[in-house]
A = this chain, B = another copy of it.
Amino acid sequence: MQALKERIKREGKVLPGNIIKVDGFLNHRVDCALLGEMADAFAALFDLSGVDLVLTAEASGIALASICAYRWNKPMIFAKKAKSDNIEGGLFKSEIMSYTYGKKVTLILSRQWLTPGTRVLIIDDFMARGEAVRGLCGLVEQAGAELVGVGIAVEKGFQGGGDRLRELGVNYHALVVIDEAKPDHITFRED
């Protein structure tokens, strides 16, 4: 997606630890019009007639998933991050490693909102090692729902999460893949 590449080139910042900061338009201050364009780009990559529901994880995936779901006229669910060990019943749970926070986090989802056979498209803002998506896939599996695909705005191609999904044969698309991120230069994978 050319508009997204250009925006990352113009405004993205590379910080130590391979962190690519795009919080001026994607995950803190949000350029909602750009997210609408991303929704259209995903719509060209996935067969939305076979999607019942959009699934994401709090917090940074919610804006993109909401605008996608709104444009596609689908409901959206976001998995929550458990705030304590004291988790109530009636939940699907999936433990992931959060490298952002340097600790394990449990994704939770009320059983009543994800039912067997529901056709789910996962949408998230970033793909690095793929922990969040792995956790979301675990929730889909526990529910007996069907994973239709995984759509990501920005994949950090050098961290392996996207390649693992490709090897597994998942219907996976990233709008932009970054192959190298240096403070003075970001290299995008050719489409």
- How many residues from A make CB contacts under 8 Å with B? 31
A66 B32 Cβ-Cβ under 8 A: yes
User: What's the minimum C-beta distance from A102 to chain B, rounded to whole angstroms?
Assistant: 10
**CB nearest to A69 among chain B residues:** B32
A63 B83 Cβ-Cβ under 8 A: no
Would you call A159 an interface residue if the criterion is a C-beta within 8 Å of the partner chain's C-beta atoms? no
User: What's the minimum C-beta distance from A26 to chain B, rounded to whole angstroms?
Assistant: 11
**Interface residue ranges of A28-54 to B (CB < 8 Å):** 28-33, 35-36
Would you call A58 an interface residue if the criterion is a C-beta within 8 Å of the partner chain's C-beta atoms? yes
Q: Mark A70-83, 1 if CB is under 8 A from B, else 0.
A: 10011111101001
Binding site for B on A (CB under 8 A): 23-24, 28-33, 35-36, 58-59, 62-63, 66-67, 69-70, 73-78, 80, 83, 101, 109-110, 112-113
